[in-house]
A and B are shown apart, each in its own frame.
Chain A
Amino acid sequence: AQSVTQPDIHITVSEGASLELRCNYSYGATPYLFWYVQSPGQGLQLLLKYFSGDTLVQGIKGFEAEFKRSQSSFNLRKPSVHWSDAAEYFCAVGVGSGGGADGLTFGKGTHLIIQP
């Protein structure tokens, strides 16, 4: 079975600084990889996803993530964070094919705090 590890429970970053949130997965083949953001009172919003192709994926809100097969990682990055980026971030793995979908396996999340 697949699993996802987000090693950082909390991360504090100054506004305007760069950000990297770590995600490692365990799965026998190449999984489908996702990053979601959850703000208080809001549903999960997809930031970006990786299915195949270019390993550097661009997402919404200025986020990007890089799939590194050798490290089983899919770290999320942003060059300059804004106070509105403060939220809970989840990395997730899906193992469904294009013709069928499985439920996602989520990491425990990383709580991002933005310092003024």
Chain B
Amino acid sequence: GAVVSQHPSRVICKSGTSVKIECRSLDFQATTMFWYRQFPKKSLMLMATSNEGSKATYEQGVEKDKFLINHASLTLSTLTVTSAHPEDSSFYICSADRRTSGTYEQYFGPGTRLTVT
């Protein structure tokens, strides 16, 4: 099956610093990748859609200057949390869109636990 990896799996950073999270599709090319945020005991919330070679599309209420997304290749998208604050602590999950026979399916990474102290 298709594999999506995320790195790091867990990161702790100090308030005010920036953190970069990588999302890679290991065995397929993904024109589109997605970034989600999952709060404890809550559902996944779509943050943004990352398109290879173009600007990301952010959902309403998500600060694009705070959550920088870069999709430089068909297998890599990065999310940078800039000037992180404790309220940014969360579980960040990426997914990659894979097309098969006229349908699509999102393959999810294992997630990155961000803790801002």
Q: Which of A19-27, A62-70, A72-80, A106-114 contacts B (4 or more CB under 8 A)?
A: A106-114
A86 to B14, CA, bound (A): 35
A41 to B91, CA, bound (A): 11
State whether A109 touches B111 (Cβ < 8 A).
Answer: no
Q: Is A56 an interface residue when CB atoms closer than 8 A count as contact?
A: no
Q: How far is the CB of A103 from chain B (nearest CB, A)?
A: 4
Q: Is A58 an interface residue when CB atoms closer than 8 A count as contact?
A: no
State whether A101 touches B32 (Cβ < 8 A).
Answer: yes
In chain A between 34 and 93, which residues have their CB closer than 8 angstroms to a CB of chain B?
A: 36, 41-46, 49, 51, 90
Q: How far is the CB of A49 from chain B (nearest CB, A)?
A: 7
Instruction: Knowing A101-B32, A105-B46, say if A46 contacts B105 (CB, 8 Å).
Output: yes
Instruction: Knowing A51-B103, A98-B102, A101-B104, say if A106 contacts B43 (CB, 8 Å).
Output: yes
Residues of A within 8 A of B111 (CB): 43
Contact of A43 among B46, B49, B109 (CB under 8 A): B109
Instruction: Knowing A43-B93, A43-B111, A101-B106, say if A106 contacts B44 (CB, 8 Å).
Output: yes
Q: Is A96 an interface residue when CB atoms closer than 8 A count as contact?
A: yes
Residues of B within 8 A of A107 (CB): 43
Interface 0/1 of B73-86, CB less than 8 Å to A? 00000000000000
Residues of A within 8 A of B105 (CB): 46, 49
Q: How far is the CB of A40 from chain B (nearest CB, A)?
A: 11
Q: How far is the CB of A61 from chain B (nearest CB, A)?
A: 13
Q: Is B97 an interface residue when CB atoms closer than 8 A count as contact?
A: yes
Residues of A within 8 A of B93 (CB): 43-44
Contact of A98 among B44, B46, B95, B103 (CB under 8 A): B103
Interface 0/1 of B48-66, CB less than 8 Å to A? 0100000000010000000
State whether B43 touches A104 (Cβ < 8 A).
Answer: no
State whether B46 touches A44 (Cβ < 8 A).
Answer: no
The 8 closest A-B pairs by CB, nearest first: A103-B46, A44-B108, A43-B110, A98-B102, A101-B97, A106-B43, A108-B43, A43-B108
- Can you report 6 A-B residue pairs in the complex whose CB atoms are below 8 A from each other? A42-B110, A43-B4, A94-B104, A101-B32, A101-B106, A104-B44
